[in-house]
Structure 1
Amino acid sequence: MLVPTIIALATLIRADELPPSCSRPVYCNSDLLHYVQTSRIFTDSKTFVDLHLQKDENTTLADFNELLEKTNRNPSKEQIKKFVDDHFQSGNELEMWKPTDHNDNPPFLAEIRDKTLRKFAQDINSIWPTLGRKVKPIVFEKPDLYSFIPISNGFIIPGGRFSEIYYWDAYWIVEGLLICGMEDTARGMIENLIQLLKKLGHIPNGSRIYYEQRSQPPLLSAMVSLYIQRTKDLAFLKANSEVLQYELEYWLETQTITFEKDGKSYTLLQYRAPSAGPRPESYHEDYTLAQQFESEERQQEFYMDIKSAAESGWDFSSRWFIGPNGENNGNLSTIHTTKIIPVDLNSIFANALQNIAYFQGLLGNRREAAHWAYLANQWRTTIEDVLWDDEDGIWYDYNWDYPNAWPPLVSITVNALRTLGTREAKQMAFDVAQKWVRACLKGFTDNKQMFEKYDVEQPGRIGGGGEYTVQAGFGWSNGVVLEMIKNYAYKMTATANPELSDESISEVELSVESVEAN
């Protein structure tokens, strides 16, 4: 379908005008990285950049340059593999960590009416300790030997190949932890992100140095809002209110674009990760795709677009594929992320502005609260003016990647419908949530695992496509299912004809159910 989007004018990009993906050449910008990743000694490009050095970086690079000289810059695959085996090592940066506030039977389970869903929620709660990790002391002592950016608190990883903290994944993980009563672990997750923000000036895509030049949807203030609403911890809020504002200033200073529509000037955000070369963690894939473009400038534009799509968290979606007539089809070769102003990013940012206003109000800073509330209203007005389609009655960017469904997007859709407040929208929200939970339950029953994404055509089936195998674990999937079960604990069922556990239904829940039925 044709998707109305705001398209910026194309510009030629030169590699020497852009910074590398990070400040560590071994992991981001070196002959060593290029030769290792293009030799395919590892089937997954992420494997190499997650290894840690056995010698310092300068020595390692010098040793590799010596190998290049000896082989006339044409080392064999076996020679490259031996070099990596001699100079790098896997593991040794993280250790298993069980959150001290984990409870096998958190109180919210008693609210769940359906016995099957109650057991499903309990099983998901039991996954948290298996995903718990903590950084070993050696990483703090010798950070230059690792691609992992050390963070102080124990944390929950997404799962599968992702052994680090990720920015926007963390929102649904934090929500799931709070539902399970794990306030300390949730606060630790947020504090880790704040540490990254203070260290780099923004929160990176993930806690690896090779993500240094790109972020992800700015959901930090939303996580803090969840935490504050649950705990009323105003001391934590007061200690971190300034740094929360700093993150929004980063987006305003680096990710805005000003353009004209209908003779009026507007400013909104876009995803933009301006750094040279392929993504280090997907180097071979990006480099291979870029070879179809003849000019270096077009190759660099492609690298920026693909990194910007990774910054969006939608890596990858057909929403970024723009054909010659504006249609959303094609493949990664037609990716044009930096030419689009996405509605989701700007909506998240408007909410972030509103959250800062809310925080300042809680702290008694009325003038500051009014300032941020004004900015939030202004941003929402711009979204309305630019991205709302009167004829279709929606804000565009929507409808991609069929038949895959991603848990965060299902969560956003359900909560958006609930927020509309109409009877029809509330019922639709419940219907979507119940179908999603039932599908995930089937997948869990069949596979004893939660997955990163699912296929909507066959309930419970793992999603497909993408540039790597769909991962199990999975942090955000756990959080989204827990969110939906908790929100509809009094009426959601595992099947159309469930066996209910009546002893768990409180008078309050029965009363609420009766009101909604009427």
Structure 2
Amino acid sequence: DRATAARAPQRPTGEVYRDLRAGAESGWDFSSRWLDDGRELASIRTTAIVPVDLNALLYHLERTIAKACASSALKACEQGYGARAEKRRQAIEDHLWHPAGYYADYDWQRRRPIERINAASLFPLFTGLASAERAGRTADSVAAQLLRPGGLATTTRASGQQWDEPNGWAPLQWVAVQGLRAYGRDALAEDIGRRFLAQVQQVYDREGKLVEKYDISGNQGGGGGGEYPLQDGFGWSNGVTLQLLRLYGPGAGR
């Protein structure tokens, strides 16, 4: 962190530390998604960005709490969290929609949507808040810009960070598949799922293991980049692969 802050002498050190912590807390540690220039970690400004995935998940949480309150006959609680969810849904539609046709992060300091699409665009479909029209446009944008030989790309930038091109991550494949299926885009969902399964199988056949992330550009290997070596395992790769096999593997649907 000190070395990163030293490469941004024009910024207060504490500001750089804060944005690095926020980037790590986001789970996308690190990604061009948070970088002002899309390349250099010292340009990170995570706390200036309103993330579409976080807000979609908070919407889902508020809806879930409202339903739990309803099941316990807690009317005020149900209405309160229901109102919060609806207010957040409307804010997402007002501010986290890019006119090019996809859900996008928002730069609240500059008061404009982030121009680059990324896999988080599908979270409003995954949590069921998207309108049918916007879900369809988002699906089309994702198919045009994020589909790769091995599944769904995380972003469209190859920055050297691990949550970027050419890496594909299992949980993002699952969000995409489930979100697209929920809005009737079954063919695209299956295409993404089958591509990712083929990628996982190729690495497994060669190395006898599943890994944390995959290079989905067509190189048929595990992913790279970031601050540590590629990890074996991996919980989310194992779980998502199992679920995708149930959907699209041999004997699926029987």
Indicate the TM-score class for this superposition, using the shorter chain for normalisation. 0.7 to 0.9
Task: Normalising by structure 1, report the TM-score.
Answer: 0.37
Query: Which of the numbers 172, 188, 191 marks the counterpart of 1:409?
Result: 172
- The answer to whether structure 1 residue 345 and structure 2 residue 54 are counterparts is yes
Of 232, 245, 250, the residue aligned with 1:485 is: 245
**Contact 1:407/1:453, CA 8 A, preserved across alignment:** yes
Structure 1 position 362, deviation (Å):
2.9
* Alignment pair present for 1:310 and 2:24: yes
What is residue 81 of structure 2 aligned with on the other side?
Answer: 372
Distance, in Å, in 2 between the alignment partners of 1:434 and 1:475 is 19
Instruction: For 2:214, give the aligned amino acid.
Output: Y
C-alpha contact 2:171 2:236 (8 A) present in aligned 1: yes
CA distance in 2, matches of 1:364, 1:483: 35
- Does the CA-based 8 Å contact 1:343-1:383 persist in structure 2? yes
> Could you tell me how far apart the structure 2 residues matched to 1:449 and 1:460 are?
14
Q: Check whether the contact 2:59–2:89 (CA below 8 A) recurs between aligned residues.
A: yes
Structure 2: which amino acid aligns with 1:315? D
- C-alpha RMSD over aligned residues: 1.9
Number of paired residues? 199
| AA matched with 2:181 | R
**Structure 1 unaligned blocks of 5 or more:** 1-285, 324-328, 494-499, 511-518
2:125 — aligned with what?
none
| In 2: Cα distance, 1:405 partner to 1:310 partner | 18
Amino acid at match of 2:96: L
Question: Deviations along 1:4-23, whole A, 9 cap, x unmatched?
Answer: xxxxxxxxxxxxxxxxxxxx
Where 1:392 maps in the other structure, the secondary structure is: coil
Contact kept? 2:8, 2:42, Cα under 8 Å: no
**Are residues 381 and 480 of structure 1, via their aligned partners in 2, closer, same or farther at CA, if it must alter by over 3 Å?**
same
- Decide whether the 8 Å contact of 1:444 with 1:460 is kept in 2: no
Q: 1:381 aligns with which of 64, 72, 90?
A: 90
Residue 204 (structure 2) pairs with residue 444 (structure 1): yes
**Quick one: distance in 2 between partners of 1:438 and 1:363?**
45
Following TM superposition, by how much is the alpha carbon of 1:459 offset from its aligned partner in structure 2, in angstroms? Answer: 6.0
2:102 maps to what in 1? Answer: 394
Tell me which amino acid in the other structure corresponds to 2:101. Answer: G
Identical-pair percentage: 35
1:482 Cα offset (Å): 1.9
Quote the offset at 1:460 in angstroms. 4.1
Give ranges in structure 2 of 5+ residues lacking alignment. 106-116, 119-154, 156-163
The C-alpha deviation readout for 1:233-288, integer Å capped at 9, x for no partner, is: xxxxxxxxxxxxxxxxxxxxxxxxxxxxxxxxxxxxxxxxxxxxxxxxxxxxx222
- Give the letter aligned to residue 410 of structure 1: Q
Give yes or no for contact 2:63–2:85 (8 Å, CA) kept in 1.
Answer: yes
Q: Relative contact order (alpha carbons < 8 A, sep ≥ 6): 1 or 2 greater?
A: 1
Structure with max Cα Rg: 1
Corresponding position of 2:2 = 287
TM-score for both structures, normalised by structure 2: 0.72
